[in-house]
């Protein structure tokens, strides 16, 4: 690659020494492509049995148990265009970008913040590790990118995520110290994208590197205000600049004495099968009694401060903007359509209902007060409460499995393609709402009557 900025080349020569030529040669090779299995929907074993794109255990990404390299040569459908992708069975992700979350040490039940989350690769990776328990707050300040983030959260059937679009300082001011784990995958100068994106080369400059480094420090300042004592923060970039990487790790330890650098690592394109990444892992010292208080919404939408012992018990019984009488149509829909497995999956324990206008959500019971914060998605969007009836959402379809529903219609590969285009299908099924699925994996809702399936695939997503 002959068009790399000369200042960048000189810096990398000084940094890498004898390794520079190997580093430069890596830019002339094809980039590595990978996907990460969404084990909320399919196990690794079942995915490998699908036997697509010649993926086997030997193709596993070294630092991610659910990540696999793929080669799309001689295939009719690439992973990004396959119905399995629409169904959320996997997320296509640059392989080295899978590394930071593996060191975040997320456990089911944790409260986690992904501060710079779009397009959603690392957020969806975090959600898999939460296994439907606890809460994920995924933030993206840029509105257009936040919309893409929200769509990916929906596609992968994630029910316990709150998608917001705010500047870090707004979040730290509103939410306070409530997170067990925080990921800061900071916006950077993008040197790790040079091989894949020529625009990253055109936009690069030393001044931009320094500007990014300062902005990253500002983001870290706000992130650390939101980390509980005893919590963990992982900072990462996809760039090679020491100013944006090691020096920012030093910035944290120099300015925050309660933060300990546990581990840091660089992935290099000439050493590892990826574009390159840096991440640093920090643990915060434990201070007894700190970080237990934050605001939750009461049943009237008002704020109240609850200590760590009482917040769950008090919030669980309070829904927001809705009472049980208003939920009668939802309860009727649920009881008539869900199997025992589906009812168990939609168990209200540990959750609350939220009604925004006529849209019904099932939210984590410890969701903090979000007044003044731009919210794109609150937990699981169940559907719309209309006069005398309930209309299920696309999010609910992608959250459920066929075994969760009494009414199911199995689609062929070709029928699934037609369904995504918005076409009406001729299929037999039980009258009313049916969960449509391909090979046992849900793809959306259809309404059956007299051998016709009326298409309810969202119009904005049709292809």
Whole-model pTM?
A: 0.92
Tokens matching residue 339: 């199997």
At 73 the pLDDT is 63
pLDDT in tens, 228-257: 999 999 999 999 999 999 999 999 999 999
Q: What is the DSSP letter of 78?
A: -
Tell me the C-alpha distance between 30 and 403, whole Å. Answer: 42
Instruction: Quote the radius of gyration of the chain (alpha carbons, Å).
Output: 23
288's tokens: 């007894």
CA distance 377 to 190: 28
- What pLDDT is stored for residue 74 in this prediction? 56
Spatial neighbors of 214 by CB under 8 A, at least 6 apart, are none
Whether 316 contacts 298, CB under 8 Å: no
Catalytic residues, by residue number, are 238
Q: Do 343 and 403 form a contact (C-beta atoms < 8 A)?
A: no
Name the token pair of 85: 């992708």
> What is the structure's pLDDT at 323?
80
As given in the structure block, the two tokens for residue 372 are 């003044």
Q: How far, in Å, CA of 458 to CA of 450, rounded?
A: 23
What is the separation of C-alpha 296 from the centre of its chain, rounded to a whole number of angstroms?
Answer: 23
Quick one: pLDDT at residue 313?
Answer: 38
Q: Is 381 helix (H, G, I), strand (E, B) or coil?
A: strand
Place of tokens 């605001």: 295
Query: Between helices 121-130 and 143-155, what is the axis angle to 10°?
Result: 40
Residues in the chain: 463
* Rounded-to-integer distance, Cα 305 and Cα 63, Å: 41
pLDDT at 414: 96
Return d(Cα 250, Cα 245) in angstroms, integer: 9
CA–CA distances in Å: residue 383 to residues 42, 146, 198, 307, 362:
24, 21, 42, 32, 10
Q: Name the one residue in this structure whose structure tokens are 């009258």.
A: 431
Rounded to whole angstroms, what are the CA distances from 375 to 140, 205, 218?
A: 10, 34, 23
Which pLDDT value is given to residue 320?
83
Pairing of strands 161-164, 135-139: parallel
- Please report the pLDDT score of residue 1 as a whole number: 54
Print pLDDT tens along the chain (463 aa). Answer: 558 999 999 999 999 999 999 999 998 888 899 999 999 999 999 999 998 888 999 999 999 999 999 987 656 788 999 999 999 999 999 999 999 999 999 999 999 999 999 999 999 999 999 999 999 999 999 999 999 999 999 999 999 999 999 999 999 999 999 999 999 999 999 999 898 888 889 999 999 999 999 999 999 999 999 999 999 999 999 999 999 999 999 999 999 999 999 999 999 999 999 999 999 999 999 864 444 444 444 333 333 333 333 333 343 456 888 888 889 999 999 999 999 999 999 998 889 999 999 999 999 988 998 989 999 999 999 999 998 899 999 999 999 999 999 999 999 999 999 999 999 999 999 999 999 999 999 999 999 999 999 999 999 999 8
Query: Which of 130, 58, 48, 135 is CA-nearest to residue 89?
Result: 48
For residue 442, give Cα distances in angstroms to 25, 346, 357. 44, 16, 27
Q: Are 425 and 419 in contact (CB under 8 A)?
A: yes
Sheet containing strand 389-392, strands side by side: 351-356, 359-364, 380-386, 389-392
Q: Do residues 82 and 35 lie in contact, with contact meaning Cβ atoms separated by under 8 Å?
A: no
Per-residue pLDDT, 345: 95
């Amino acid at each position: 690659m002959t068009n790399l900025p000369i200042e960048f080349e000189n810096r990398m020569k000084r940094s890498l020494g004898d390794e520079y030529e190997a580093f430069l040669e890596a830019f002339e090779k094809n980039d590595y492509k990978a996907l990460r299995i969404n084990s909320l929907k399919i196990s690794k074993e079942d995915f490998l049995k699908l036997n697509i794109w010649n993926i086997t255990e030997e193709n596993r990404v070294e630092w991610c148990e659910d990540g696999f390299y793929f080669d799309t040569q001689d295939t009719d459908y690439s992973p990004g265009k396959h119905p399995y992708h629409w169904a959320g069975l996997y997320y296509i992700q640059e392989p080295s970008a899978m590394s930071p979350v593996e060191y975040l040490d997320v456990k089911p039940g944790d409260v986690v913040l992904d501060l710079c989350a779009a397009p959603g690769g690392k957020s969806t990776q975090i959600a898999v590790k939460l296994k439907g328990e606890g809460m994920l707050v995924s933030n993206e300040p840029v509105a257009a990118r936040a919309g893409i983030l929200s769509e990916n959260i929906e596609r992968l059937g994630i029910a316990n995520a709150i998608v917001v679009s705010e500047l870090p300082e707004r979040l730290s001011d509103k939410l306070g110290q409530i997170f067990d784990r925080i990921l800061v995958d900071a916006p950077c100068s993008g040197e790790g994208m040079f091989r894949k994106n020529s625009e990253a080369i055109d936009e690069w400059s030393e001044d931009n590197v320094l500007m990014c480094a300062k902005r990253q420090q500002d983001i870290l300042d706000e992130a650390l205000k939101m980390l509980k004592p005893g919590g963990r923060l992982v900072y990462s970039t996809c760039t090679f600049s020491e100013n944006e990487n090691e020096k920012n790790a030093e910035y944290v330890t120099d300015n925050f004495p309660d933060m300990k650098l546990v581990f840091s690592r660089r992935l290099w394109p000439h050493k590892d099968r990826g574009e390159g990444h840096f991440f640093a892992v920090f643990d915060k010292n434990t201070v007894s009694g700190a970080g237990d208080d934050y605001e939750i919404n009461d049943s009237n939408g008002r704020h109240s401060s609850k200590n760590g012992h009482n917040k769950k018990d008090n919030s669980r019984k309070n829904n927001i903007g809705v009472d049980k009488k208003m939920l009668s149509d939802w309860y009727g829909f649920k009881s008539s359509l869900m199997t025992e497995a589906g009812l168990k999956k939609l168990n209200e324990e540990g959750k609350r209902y939220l009604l925004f206008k006529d849209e019904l959500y099932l939210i984590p019971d410890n969701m903090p007060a979000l007044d003044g914060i731009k919210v794109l998605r609150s937990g699981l969007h169940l559907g719309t409460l209309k006069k005398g009836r309930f209309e299920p959402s696309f999010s609910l379809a992608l959250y459920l499995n066929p075994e969760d529903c009494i009414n199911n219609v199995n689609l062929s590969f070709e029928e699934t393609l037609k369904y995504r285009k918005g076409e009406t299908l001729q299929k037999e099924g039980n009258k009313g709402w049916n969960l449509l699925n391909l090979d046992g994996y849900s793809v959306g809702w259809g309404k059956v009557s007299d051998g016709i399936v009326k298409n309810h695939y969202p119009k904005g997503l049709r292809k």
